[in-house]
Amino acid sequence: MTERREGEAGLDTRLSRLRAATEPICPPAGLPDRVMRAVRAPRRASLAEVILLSSRRALALSAVAAAAAVLLSVRMEQDLTSAAAYSAIAGDTDASFDLLSDELSLDGDLDP
């Protein structure tokens, strides 16, 4: 018990000495200017910010690509339908029949 009390007293004495010795520490004269320069400087993005920004860009690009793919497929489908109809009118019966039957079977309207 006494040993512990002595240990506590020694600890407090050492902490007080270190506290007193470090009390006069003051910042270098140029620190405020250095801080204000750093505050006004453009920030470098952190790794998390870079990842977030990249993923947002990737998401936007993916959305544009998906929309373009949908538009293209709709357009192709319309072209195919027009081509089949044109062939049927022009008398190319075999080709038009194949194209039309393919399309109709995709829609499930024609029995194989």
Partner 1 sequence: MSDVLAAVEAVAAGDVAAFARVVEATSTRLYRLAARMMGDLQEAEDVVQDAYVRAFDALREGRFDRRSSVDTWLYRIVTNTALDALRARRRRTRKATDPLDDVEVPEQMSSAERLAARDALRELSLWIDDLPPDQRTALVLKELEGLPSDEVAAIMKSSVGAVEQRLVRARATLRSRSTRD
Q: Interface with partner 1 includes 46 (CB under 8 A)?
A: no
Question: Closest approach of Cβ 37 to partner 1, in Å?
Answer: 9
Q: What's the DSSP call for residue 42?
A: P
Question: Closest approach of Cβ 48 to partner 1, in Å?
Answer: 14
HSE, side-chain direction, 13 A CA sphere, residue 28: 5
Whole-number Å distance between alpha carbons of 105 and 99: 10
Binding site for partner 1 (CB under 8 A): 3-4, 7-8, 10-11, 14-15, 17-19, 21-29, 31-32, 34-36, 38-40, 43
